[in-house]
Structure 1
């Protein structure tokens, strides 16, 4: 290991880096044991040689299934994710902003990318909650419970993640803690917080590509992540090993499902031909089914929104489909489902108006008229 040198028989000199090097090896061993434990809990076995431990945000995107998610350490404001990748490796990625990973639950399929230069959602939330330059965790907790949009219902944990962020920024001299339930937030809080992050190891970006696991995607009636992979000509990033092999097998089963349902045919040469506009048709089919099911419980009819149509009504909640997340927009006599985007969350319970544009909506929210999201 190069940590000690024998100058003469029985005479050794210990290297200056011996203690930190051994400590680092011990920490690495703990990480590998935790990764094994998380995989075993899912009934998975992976070769330790395929484990990849990242010190910071990956330089190239990693796509895979979340098998573990926890605080990096007791004092940390960030999360660590263990991701079983389609590249045949199992990745240990620290430094994840909890606000960006709210929907990255165990079993979700995500993409972890290079450092995101955009401001943190948690910082925007703190700035929004703050009144007259003062942020109160108790007030934030009340609002979170009222809105009821925290995944898993862990409202205390959700607010605590924001307090940990403030604690880190307090040490950097950006915010001031007056007492346990009162923080002073400067007017230029978001820009100063972004500058602080720029001077640190940048946090990895997170994108949840599917909240539905592989098994459920195989027989789903919506447009799944597997479908998007099927219609993508290049699948060279999916290695025939580990989770990559599981994805390949699931894609084969999904392909056969489409043939059985008449959404695809196999030519004499063995080529698979998919119906035109496959993803859009699958999405419409699932939205129609879910809308009909919701109509029974709501007691008002569902009407699907057409592309280019103006939609208006009260934003009353969201629905998670295999095709993605949708916003529920209600009128007194009917309701519809339209693609959800984060910008609309602050309008929960309010009247909204927008134009459906393909798989997005151009919302007209107050002064942000014509905001394409």
Structure 2
């Protein structure tokens, strides 16, 4: 019997979740995002992967899938796929990182260039990129970069090859860096093709296609590596404490962690080099000889060698920053409960240039030099060279402990908390609001649940979960700028300096050598300045400081700054003091000796209030500040709303 058309089964799939006419596009974006997280695919797999037809560069990657010739010049390329946040500052921040001071051969700021210009308009590139869904970031390092001379011609040749492979014009800017042992180039590529559509690059092309193109260019320009160059390169790797190409060869031929040199088909010279490398790995405890040809490799060999290589890079960084001054080295490890590290910024830079993760070298008052890795996306410009900083492992949140103590049967109520703090705090509402802000942050991280206004369900291990949350968010570290001026300029500065706090404390935490000794000498000269300003008095070897010294110095500096602003604007100054209130439009911030201050303009006059990062996003908006005992609470908008203490 014939089946009628109306009786045939016809599936009608629903649109992807999310609704709207662009729901399908959002679904594709999610797929691409997950693909980008999986990393580069194995060579030769692009053509077989379903849905790969819209990936550009897949054909070029297929032809580049073969193992490169040993005589090819080596080029290392690290790539990153970055989603662009609309209205965010990520692009501009990354470009500022790339053009920071000290990255050229002469120690000057980096200079961005493009396909047709040696002076790229990075601000224009940032504006063009704001509407993009994503962008690509690359670090390109040729092994023979020094022989190439300038890197710009090589970078432009590589990007021209990429443009052909990807079948579209490319919009990019690049900055060359010469501040490390391996000269390299940073490239930022817009995620748009020449038709204005999303530029989607095949993972295989990012994984090895680009590298093959770069290798072709360098090999063509400098010629293939000679046998002697290859041999010398391998010999240099024998005793290195990092993960090398020799280690890759050993792991590639290993079976269940065991490698048999007799089964590796190489000439006698290369085999003797591998044997030498294995002996060095044995000294490191990473390989164990079973017989004259067979060796058992440690299962964590690669991880350990990469860690050793990173540590070696850090030690070299410490040496460069200290410029030959003898110090004991300390490398900070996140999560360890260490005493605060206080000292001058002796060096800074990017520990991970692909992810904008910086570091500081701190010449500390304890007489040691500390390497501190900063939380991701921290602005290096906030920590000037020579300035005084304090770094400390982030402790468990006091707010989390309070919330857990107030909660009953896993339920926290603001009404219960208010009852508890009303008898012992002058501003209980402020205290409870600060805890609600913490709960909101944990709710967004999926750790707590808001049941109703002022009612929250919390887990039993809230304190532990909150500490893990803070470590992920800040790297387990808090960095505070104590004074932006170096010691020499603090001596006669009109304002409350870090040296003044050391005079008040009596220099108890200072070492008698290294930077601690320099601080003691600077304190003596600072004391002479305070005596001349009638803010201190010497009686023999004893120094008596004026009462409320820090507040007096702050007030004097604020009065001088306010007088300058009044002359410029004609507005009157409305001092706030340690107990007061100010409101107005946030116009700008000012970096003073006593700290950073926000200028609030109410139309008739202005006030200077201690600045905090949270107010920077409110530039041009109306805000209010309440100061109690020097502590500032911020309120945003014309109506009283959420406050930031």
Please confirm whether the aligned pair reaches a TM-score higher than 0.5, indicating the same fold. Answer: yes
CA shift, 1:335, in A, is: 1.8
The within-5 A match list for 1:82-121 is: 82-99=361-378, 103-115=382-394
Answering whether residue 568 of structure 2 is matched by residue 297 of structure 1, we say yes
SS class of match (1:96): coil
Choose 235-244 or 98-107, whichever is displaced more.
Answer: 98-107
- Is 1:58–1:113's contact at 8 Å kept on the other side of the alignment? no
CA shift, 1:331, in A, is: 3.0
CA shift, 1:285, in A, is: 0.3
Counterpart CA distance in 2 for 1:371 and 1:22 is: 49
The one of 67, 70, 79 aligned to 2:358: 79
Partner residue, 2:632: 361
CA shift, 1:262, in A, is: 1.1
Counterpart CA distance in 1 for 2:471 and 2:641 is: 35
Answering whether residue 338 of structure 2 is matched by residue 70 of structure 1, we say no
- Is 1:58–1:112's contact at 8 Å kept on the other side of the alignment? no
Counterpart CA distance in 2 for 1:65 and 1:198 is: 26
Distance change (3 Å), C-alpha of 1:189 and 1:70? farther
SS class of match (1:34): helix
Partner residue, 1:309: 580
The count of aligned residue pairs is 297
SS class of match (1:328): strand
Distance change (3 Å), C-alpha of 1:239 and 1:191? farther
Answering whether residue 325 of structure 2 is matched by residue 39 of structure 1, we say no
Counterpart CA distance in 2 for 1:350 and 1:46 is: 48
Distance change (3 Å), C-alpha of 1:20 and 1:332? closer
CA shift, 1:85, in A, is: 0.9
Distance change (3 Å), C-alpha of 1:115 and 1:351? closer
The one of 510, 513, 519 aligned to 1:238: 510
Partner residue, 1:219: 492
The within-5 A match list for 1:3-18 is: 3=285, 16=298
Counterpart CA distance in 1 for 2:594 and 2:489 is: 12
1:77-97 Cα shifts (integer Å, max 9, x gaps): 532221111111111122523
Counterpart CA distance in 2 for 1:28 and 1:273 is: 47
1:292-325 Cα shifts (integer Å, max 9, x gaps): 1122222333343344333222221111111111
5+ residue gaps, structure 1: 119-186
1:211-230 Cα shifts (integer Å, max 9, x gaps): 22211111111111111111
- Is 1:116–1:205's contact at 8 Å kept on the other side of the alignment? no
Answering whether residue 524 of structure 2 is matched by residue 252 of structure 1, we say yes
TM-score normalized by structure 2?
0.41
SS class of match (1:279): helix
Distance change (3 Å), C-alpha of 1:107 and 1:191? farther
Distance change (3 Å), C-alpha of 1:104 and 1:256? same
Counterpart CA distance in 2 for 1:26 and 1:204 is: 23
Distance change (3 Å), C-alpha of 1:78 and 1:368? farther
Greater relative contact order: 1 or 2 (C-alpha under 8 angstroms, separation 6 or more)? 1
Counterpart CA distance in 2 for 1:62 and 1:101 is: 18
TM-score normalized by structure 1?
0.68
The one of 478, 481, 486 aligned to 1:208: 481
CA shift, 1:263, in A, is: 0.8
Counterpart CA distance in 1 for 2:575 and 2:373 is: 42
Choose 255-264 or 330-339, whichever is displaced more.
Answer: 330-339
SS class of match (1:72): strand
1:154-186 Cα shifts (integer Å, max 9, x gaps): xxxxxxxxxxxxxxxxxxxxxxxxxxxxxxxxx
CA shift, 1:11, in A, is: 9.7
Distance change (3 Å), C-alpha of 1:285 and 1:13? same
Counterpart CA distance in 2 for 1:278 and 1:368 is: 35
Higher strand share: 1
5+ residue gaps, structure 2: 1-282, 398-441, 448-464
Task: Choose 1 or 2 for highest CA Rg.
Answer: 2
The one of 251, 263, 276 aligned to 2:547: 276
RMSD: 3.4
CA shift, 1:20, in A, is: 5.9
Counterpart CA distance in 2 for 1:364 and 1:54 is: 37
Distance change (3 Å), C-alpha of 1:341 and 1:55? closer
